[in-house]
Amino acid sequence: MSMPRKIRCTVAAIADHGGRVYTVDLTPTSAVPAFRPGQFLHLTVDEYDPSGFWPESRVFSIASSPRERNRLRICYAVKGRYTTRMEQTLKVGSEVWVKLPYGDFVIDGAGDAVLIAGGTGISAFTAFLEALSPETTSKVTLVYGARTPALLLFQEMILDRLARVPAFDLVLFTEVAAAGFSQRMAGLPRVPHCLAGRIALEPLWPPASDFCTPNSVFHLSGPPVMLKSLTTDLLARGIEPGRVRTDAWE
Ligand SMILES: Cc1cc2nc3c(=O)[nH]c(=O)nc-3n(C[C@H](O)[C@H](O)[C@H](O)COP(=O)(O)OP(=O)(O)OC[C@H]3O[C@@H](n4cnc5c(N)ncnc54)[C@H](O)[C@@H]3O)c2cc1C
């Protein structure tokens, strides 16, 4: 595992998804150190003097692929004081500092996996999903929920994996319906399961053959309230604690 490094970056692009959710692309001034899918970085919008203390920062999963050494991508939702500040200050061309890599929430692809993502929690899984190939043999199911279909980030990449990777399955939850979304999904070469409401295990249980296997490890990423309720529910349904892994958001 690489030693964390501090790198000055320029904001190269910001995508506004609505609902105060953003994707930010950063161009680092030196090559990104090696990291593993699922790891996170610290980002500060304050000036940083490398001879001084690291300023206040927040952590974000690294959504870009470890193969990209000249770009970093994060997705964030405005929640509190600091992300509000990010929304107000980050512009294309702004400078920020990041330090990375951190975390042991790593998906190694060695066995069957169910990835459960709420909102921007998808960022912890995107590098892993991007690397799935048609030859992937381990069963991977992504259960992904967002407030609206427009806030299902990385849709193009995820639907492309669904079309190309037979071992990959997709369950989508949206709280608010949007005209045309179900029809669009129904027209795809492989149709994802589209469900209404917040992510819940009830409609997926008892585990249908295309959802998980007896060996699947459950990886959960998203807001604390989601992690807590789904972890409790998985354990109550008899999943051994060793098969439930969470990316502990504060
Ligand atoms: C491993 C991990 C990965 C994450 N990945 C993402 C992601 O990809 N996208 C995303 O949107 N969010 C992610 N988060 C959550 C994100 O880091 C923020 O905690 C969240 O957005 C809260 O919003 P805020 O910082 O604006 O809230 P604030 O109200 O500013 O702070 C929220 C919490 O941050 C902590 N905090 C407060 N002051 C300080 C300080 N001075 N220095 C350090 N911490 C302080 C406190 O625990 C506080 O309750 C992740 C969190 C973790 C732990």
Same domain, 241 and 119: yes
pTM of the model: 0.94
Q: What is the CATH number of the domain that holds 33?
A: 2.40.30.10
> Do the domain assignments include residue 223?
yes
pLDDT at 1: 65
The predicted-structure confidence for 97-107, as pLDDT tens digits, reads as follows: 999 999 999 88
Q: Which amino acid is at 95?
A: E
Same domain, 137 and 202: yes
pLDDT at 5: 96
Mutate to test the pocket of ligand 1, among 24, 43, 250 (most ligand atoms within 8 A of CB): 250
Residue 250: CB within 6 Å of ligand 1? yes
> Do the domain assignments include residue 73?
yes
Task: Tell which atom from ligand 1 comes closest to the C-alpha of 83.
Answer: 26
> Do the domain assignments include residue 17?
yes
Question: Average pLDDT of 222-227?
Answer: 94
Q: Assign 207 a pLDDT band (cuts: 50, 70, 90).
A: low
pLDDT at 248: 76
Higher pLDDT, 250 or 172: 172
Question: 227 CA to middle of ligand 1, Å?
Answer: 15
Question: Average pLDDT of 225-229?
Answer: 95
Residue 81: CB within 6 Å of ligand 1? yes
Nearest CA to ligand 1 atom 31: 80
Same domain, 86 and 188: no
Task: Tell which atom from ligand 1 comes closest to the C-alpha of 76.
Answer: 11
CA distances from 108 to 71, 80, 122, 123, 129 (A): 22, 32, 16, 16, 11
The chain-wide mean pLDDT, for the chain, equals: 94
pLDDT at 63: 97
Which range has the top average pLDDT, 23-27, 222-226, 245-249? Answer: 23-27
Residue 202: CB within 6 Å of ligand 1? no
Same domain, 237 and 147: yes
> Do the domain assignments include residue 108?
no
Residue 39: CB within 6 Å of ligand 1? no
Same domain, 54 and 139: no
Question: 56 CA to middle of ligand 1, Å?
Answer: 11
Residue 9: CB within 6 Å of ligand 1? no
Structural domain tally of the chain? 2
> Do the domain assignments include residue 203?
yes
What distance in Å separates the CA atoms of residue 168 and residue 156, rounded to the nearest whole number? 15
> Do the domain assignments include residue 107?
no
The predicted-structure confidence for 72-125, as pLDDT tens digits, reads as follows: 999 999 999 999 999 999 999 999 999 999 999 988 788 999 999 999 999 999
pLDDT at 209: 60
Of 82, 102, 122, the domain-final residue: 102
Same domain, 123 and 241: yes
Q: What is the CATH number of the domain that holds 207?
A: 3.40.50.80
Q: Assign 208 a pLDDT band (cuts: 50, 70, 90).
A: low
Share of the chain above pLDDT 70, in %: 98
Task: Tell which atom from ligand 1 comes closest to the C-alpha of 79.
Answer: 23
CA 181 to chain centroid: 21
Share of the chain above pLDDT 90, in %: 86
Same domain, 183 and 75: no
Range of the domain at 30: 5-102
Same domain, 126 and 68: no
